[in-house]
Amino acid sequence: MKILVTGMGIVSSIGSNVEENFNSLKEGRSGIAIMSDIPNMRKSFLGGQVKMSNKELKNNLGIAENEKVHRSGLFGLMAAKEAWGEREHDLSIRTGIIFGTTVGGVDLSDELINEQLKNKKRAKIDFYKTHDSGFGTDFIAAKMGINEYKATISTACSTAANSIMLGARLIKANMLDRVLAGGAEALSNYTLNGFDSLMLYDTEKCKPFDENRKGLNLGEAGGFLVLENERAASLSGKEKLAELSGWANTCDSYHITASSPEGTGASLAIARALQMANLSVEAIDYINAHGTGTPNNDISEANALFSIFGKNMPPFSSTKSFTGHTLAAAGVVEAIYSVLAIRNNIIFPNLNFNKVMKEISLRPENKLIINRKIKNVISNSFGFGGNCTELIFSE
């Protein structure tokens, strides 16, 4: 059974829809800049912010300003609407939604706890009802009119990739015909301080796979894919954008926040996804790498890639140099960029790359490549807890 991608929606620091994101990628426009407008910041950081306030997002989405919704939920709804497009609900098409964030509405919790610390008052449970991870899924499901199946995944930085994978598995098992699958992540004081406490930041723009990389820049985004089986796709009459031909999820089981130096979990996941898609290493035309820019991730990932592809290494790049690391959303943001690479026969550059890592001679593409036939793309997503998820998109 084929799993078809028939819709995509995205909001990120390089655009508020798919077309704007594509144009920024083509034109080499990064969204990373000094961040502003986040309450209670201890320091200033570089990152990829969506250039819309919550008020603007709510206005665009037709949501009352006083409705309690976290920023990740707003990104999610915006992307869901674009991905869904003009589609009609059809009772014969069993439809589900899978969404994820890493920290849910911690932007709201932050404000609330700050108030409490000032006023020495205990908050009521009601205030917290909109702060958990599942809230965003319920919110988007209700607005999109989906109530047959809903799930919320939380696997740190591979969350949205796992949402897409679960969507495909539910369709393959004939439990659903259509799934809106994705994730969202709003920048918050919480995650900024969290990654700061782990000392994972680059004070300059991140340089994935570069010898002199220092760390990551965070970013915010939301994205959704519409996955359909052939029956649902023919009923909805949407163009098939790509096929999701392979996937795998493994656990690195090396360290709770760091990747193994040799990339054990990642290479195992890539091998399994290739096997499932029934593709040889030579058939892969482009790899959208996880490439966060941290010293640990990039060497681990490079070793994993080399162990699988060796001399047949296809072109690869990390588009986090455009968007920053969008955590729970990264998997769907990069899935969309992978589909765009196939649709447009194009490879997006890895910005800010200058010098090959001394441990391993792998050079990401640092220039835009056009008119290159792209049939199969692998997208890598790794997360805390040792989570490694691979998605393969095919023409």
**Structure-token pair, residue 322:** 């455009």
Q: Does 387 bind another protein (CB under 8 A)?
A: yes
**365: helix, coil or strand?**
coil
Q: Does 250 bind another protein (CB under 8 A)?
A: yes
Q: Does 173 bind another protein (CB under 8 A)?
A: yes
Helix axes of 18-27 and 330-344: crossing angle, nearest 10 degrees? 70
Looking at this protein, which amino acid is placed at residue 238? K
Could you say which of 34, 64, 91, 256 contacts another protein (CB under 8 A)?
256
Could you say which of 18, 38, 79, 166 contacts another protein (CB under 8 A)?
166
Q: Which stretch binds another protein (CB under 8 A): 125-133, 203-211, 302-310, 364-372?
A: 125-133
Could you say which of 7, 31, 364, 386 contacts another protein (CB under 8 A)?
386
Interacting positions 38-67 with another protein (CB under 8 A): 40, 42
Could you say which of 20, 54, 68, 128 contacts another protein (CB under 8 A)?
128
Q: Does 190 bind another protein (CB under 8 A)?
A: yes
What is the smallest separation between the CB atom of 200 and another protein, expressed in angstroms? 9
Could you say which of 273, 348, 383, 390 contacts another protein (CB under 8 A)?
383
Interacting positions 204-243 with another protein (CB under 8 A): none
Q: How would you list the strands of the sheet with 32-34, edge to edge?
A: 32-34, 46-48, 218-219
Binding mask 105-124 for another protein (x = CB under 8 A): -x--xx--xx--x-----x-
Q: Does 151 bind another protein (CB under 8 A)?
A: yes
The rounded distance, in Å, linking the Cα atoms of 246 and 265 is: 16
Which spans in the chain are helix H?
18-27, 54-61, 71-84, 106-119, 125-128, 133-144, 159-172, 189-197, 230-236, 264-277, 295-309, 320-323, 330-344
Q: How many residues does the chain have?
A: 395
The rounded distance, in Å, linking the Cα atoms of 5 and 13 is: 23
Nearer to another protein, 7 or 167 (CB): 167
Residue 212 Cα to chain centre, angstroms: 25
**Structure-token pair, residue 383:** 């997360």
Nearer to another protein, 220 or 365 (CB): 220
CB 289 within 8 A of CB 380: yes
Size of the site for another protein (CB under 8 A): 58
Q: 227: which strand partners? A: 5, 179
Q: Does 251 bind another protein (CB under 8 A)?
A: yes
- Residues whose CB is less than 8 angstroms from the CB of residue 57 and which lie 6 or more positions away in sequence, other chains included: 71, 74, 75, 78
Interacting positions 262-301 with another protein (CB under 8 A): 264-265, 268
Q: Which stretch binds another protein (CB under 8 A): 55-63, 194-202, 203-211, 223-231?
A: 194-202
- Residues whose CB is less than 8 angstroms from the CB of residue 254 and which lie 6 or more positions away in sequence, other chains included: 260, 264, 265, 386
Looking at this protein, which amino acid is placed at residue 169? R
Q: Does 170 bind another protein (CB under 8 A)?
A: yes
Nearer to another protein, 124 or 358 (CB): 124
Could you say which of 134, 295, 344, 357 contacts another protein (CB under 8 A)?
134
Could you say which of 95, 137, 294, 376 contacts another protein (CB under 8 A)?
137
SS3 content of the chain, % helix, strand, coil (to 5): 40, 20, 40
Nearer to another protein, 50 or 106 (CB): 106
Could you say which of 130, 249, 300, 338 contacts another protein (CB under 8 A)?
249
Which of these, 349, 343, 293, 342, lies nearest to 316 by C-alpha position?
A: 349
Q: Does 175 bind another protein (CB under 8 A)?
A: yes
Q: Does 193 bind another protein (CB under 8 A)?
A: yes
**Structure-token pair, residue 191:** 């995650």
**Residue 82 main-chain phi, psi, to 5 deg:** -65, -45
Interacting positions 86-105 with another protein (CB under 8 A): 100, 102-103
What does the binding site for another protein look like in residue numbers (CB under 8 A)?
40, 42, 100, 102-103, 106, 109-110, 113-114, 117, 123, 125, 128, 132-135, 137, 147, 149-156, 162, 166, 169-170, 173, 175, 189-190, 193-194, 196-198, 249-257, 264-265, 268, 383-387
